[in-house]
Amino acid sequence: MNCNIEITPGLYYVGANDYRTQKFEALWTLPHGVSYNSYLMVDEKVALIDTIEAKYTETFLTNIRNILGSRGIDYLIINHMEPDHSASIAAVRRAYPDVQIVGNPKTIDMINGFYGICHNMLVVKEGDTLHLGEKDLTFYPIPMVHWPETMATYCPQEKILFSGDAFGCFGALVGGVIDEDICCDIYWDEMYRYYASIVGKYGVPVQNALKKLAPLPIDIICTTHGPVWKKYTKKVIDIYDRLSRHESEKGVVIVYGSMYGNTARMAEEIAQAIGSQGIDKVVLYDISTVDKSVVLRDIFRYNSLIIGSATYNTGLFPDIEALLSALRNREVKSKVYGCFGSFSWAGRAVKELTAFGNDMHWTMPGAPVEMRQGFSDAIIGQCRELAKSIAAELKKC
Ligand code: FEO
C-alpha cells in the first residue's frame, strides 16, 4: 500500500501492508498478510507515532513526504521497540535529522542498543504530555504487552488511543484502514490467532493495561497491526479482555499426532462421540499438517482440549511435545482436559499427557485412553467413555 489516509483532521495513516512475508517472526503464517501501522499527527508541531518494518521503509518515507512536503517532523514517538515497528527509526532520523525521539527509559535504552542512537531524545514517564498545538499526546507505559518497554499514547482532544500491538491482529488492510470503511470479516479470527501466538503469554500485563487505560474515554484505537478501530472499539477491547482472562467459549479442540493412523482413529472416535452428546463446536486437528497458530487460536477460543499422541522414541510425538511447550509457555488456564494415545512396544505418551494436564491444574473428568498396537471394541468403548465425561463436564459450564 502506498497511500495516505486521513483518519481524523490532521491525523494520517502512513503505514504499509506486507503480503510477502510468509511467516511473521519466522513462526506464524500470514494467509491474509499483515499491516505495519504508523500515524502522523500534523498540528503546530508534527508527531510521527511508531515506524514500520525495514522492508517497507521507502514506502513509509514516501507516505510521510506526500503529506508533509518539505515540512519537518518534530517528534518521533516510540510505543514499542520490536523491529517490525522500530526498524525504520534510523531512516527517519536520517531523513529528518532534527526529529526528537520520544520514549520511556526502557525504550531509550533499547534504541541505543538496537540502532546506536542516543542523542536528541526526550524521556517521558507515565502521564507526561506533549503539546502539539490544538492536540496533546499523553503517555501511559503498559509494560509487558508484550515487551517491557511497551507504551500507549493518548490524544484526549480526539479520544484516540495509539495502542502499539495491543488490540492488533493479523491481516493486511484492503480498501481502506478504518474498520467502518472496510469488510472486517477476516480480522476476528486473525485477532484470536494473533493474540494466541504473540501476546498469549502476557494475560496479566494485558489485564493491568486494560485497568490502567479504562478511565480514558476511547473513541478510536490506532493499533500497530490491523484496522483502525472506530466502529468496533468496544468489541476489540472486550475480545482482549476475555482472552487475557482466559475466558473461553463452550467447545472442544481435539489435536493429535499419529504416525500410522491409529491415534488418528481414536481422535475420530472421540470427536464423533462428543458430537453425539450434543456438543456442536468440535474441531479436530492433525498436528503434523495444521498451522500451529490455528491450533493455538482455537485452544484460546474453546474451553475444552483433548490431546492425543502416539509414543515416539519412548516419548511424545515431537509436534505434540512442541504444542505442550507452547501451552506451558502461555500458562493456558481453565481447560476441561482429556488425553489419549497409542503405542507399539513402549507406552509413554499417555503418561506424559496425563502428567501435563495435572501440571497445568486443568479439570480432567475422564480416564485417559491408551491403546497398545491395534484397535478393538474395548478401545472404542473407552474413547466413548472419555467423550461422555468431557461432554458432561462441559454441560455444567
Ligand atoms: Fe508488532 Fe511486538 O511487534
We report the CATH number of the domain holding residue 14 as 3.60.15.10
Res 4: pLDDT: 61
Cβ 82 under 6 angstroms from ligand 1? yes
Cβ 223 under 6 angstroms from ligand 1? no
Q: Residue 36 CA: which ligand 1 atom is closest?
A: 1
In a domain, 131, yes or no: yes
Q: Using an 8 Å Cβ cutoff, are 201 and 332 in contact? A: no
Cβ 85 under 6 angstroms from ligand 1? yes
Distance 374 CA to ligand 1 centre (A): 47
Distance 323 CA to ligand 1 centre (A): 22
Give residue-wise pLDDT tens across range 326-357.
999 999 999 999 999 999 998 999 999 999 99
H or E segment to which residue 5 belongs? strand 5-8
Q: Using an 8 Å Cβ cutoff, are 37 and 224 in contact? A: yes
Cβ 149 under 6 angstroms from ligand 1? no
Domain boundary residue, one of 244, 269, 285: 244
Residue 1, pLDDT > 90, answer: no
285 in the same domain as 234:
no
Q: Residue 146 CA: which ligand 1 atom is closest?
A: 2
Distance 279 CA to ligand 1 centre (A): 36
Cβ 225 under 6 angstroms from ligand 1? yes
Cβ 80 under 6 angstroms from ligand 1? yes
Cell of residue 387, nine digits: 467423550
102 in the same domain as 37:
yes
In a domain, 307, yes or no: yes
In a domain, 1, yes or no: no
Cβ 84 under 6 angstroms from ligand 1? yes
Containing structural domain, residue 293: 252-396
36 in the same domain as 170:
yes
Cβ 301 under 6 angstroms from ligand 1? no
256 in the same domain as 211:
no
| Verdict on whether the full-model pTM lies above 0.85 | yes
Domain boundary residue, one of 244, 276, 308: 244
Distance 16 CA to ligand 1 centre (A): 14
Distance 84 CA to ligand 1 centre (A): 6
Q: Residue 150 CA: which ligand 1 atom is closest?
A: 2
Distance 304 CA to ligand 1 centre (A): 29
Q: What is the DSSP string of 274-290?
A: HHHTT---EEEEETTTS
Res 397: pLDDT: 85
213 in the same domain as 266:
no
Q: In what order do the strands lie in the sheet with 220-223?
A: 129-131, 136-141, 151-155, 160-164, 220-223
Give residue-wise pLDDT tens across range 363-377.
999 999 999 998 899
Give residue-wise pLDDT tens across range 108-133.
999 999 999 999 999 999 999 999 99
33 residue type, one letter: G
Kindly provide the b/e burial profile for residues 233-251, where b requires at least 16 CB atoms within 10 angstroms of the residue's own CB. beebbebbeebbebebeeb
Q: Using an 8 Å Cβ cutoff, are 295 and 287 in contact? A: yes
If you search the block for the grid coordinates 490524544, which residue do you land on? 155
- Pairing of the two strands 11-13 and 129-131: unpaired
Cβ 165 under 6 angstroms from ligand 1? yes
Ligand 1, atom 2: nearest CA belongs to which residue? Answer: 82
H or E segment to which residue 228 belongs? none
Distance 82 CA to ligand 1 centre (A): 5
CATH code at 378? 3.40.50.360
In a domain, 173, yes or no: yes
100 in the same domain as 205:
yes
197 in the same domain as 287:
no
Cβ 53 under 6 angstroms from ligand 1? no
Where helices occur in the chain by DSSP H, the ranges are: 57-68, 83-86, 89-95, 105-115, 185-194, 203-213, 233-244, 262-276, 292-301, 318-329, 349-359, 377-396
Cβ 224 under 6 angstroms from ligand 1? yes
Q: How many domains does the chain have?
A: 2
Distance 35 CA to ligand 1 centre (A): 11
289 in the same domain as 239:
no
Distance 81 CA to ligand 1 centre (A): 8
Cell of residue 133, nine digits: 498545538
49 in the same domain as 169:
yes
Give residue-wise pLDDT tens across range 208-259.
999 999 999 999 999 999 999 999 999 999 999 999 999 999 999 999 999 9
Q: Residue 147 CA: which ligand 1 atom is closest?
A: 2
Q: Residue 165 CA: which ligand 1 atom is closest?
A: 1
The residues pairing with 40 across neighbouring beta strands, listed in sequence order, are 12, 48
320 in the same domain as 231:
no
CA distance 54 to 57: 5
Res 22: pLDDT: 96
Give residue-wise pLDDT tens across range 17-61.
999 999 999 999 999 999 999 999 999 999 999 999 999 999 999
Distance 315 CA to ligand 1 centre (A): 35
Give residue-wise pLDDT tens across range 248-289.
999 999 999 999 999 999 999 999 999 999 999 999 999 999
Residue 3, pLDDT > 80, answer: no
In a domain, 129, yes or no: yes
Length of the chain: 397
154 in the same domain as 119:
yes
Domain boundary residue, one of 244, 276, 293: 244
Ligand 1, atom 3: nearest CA belongs to which residue? Answer: 82
Q: Using an 8 Å Cβ cutoff, are 381 and 265 in contact? A: no
Q: How confident is the model at residue 2 (pLDDT cuts 50, 70, 90)?
A: very low
316 in the same domain as 186:
no
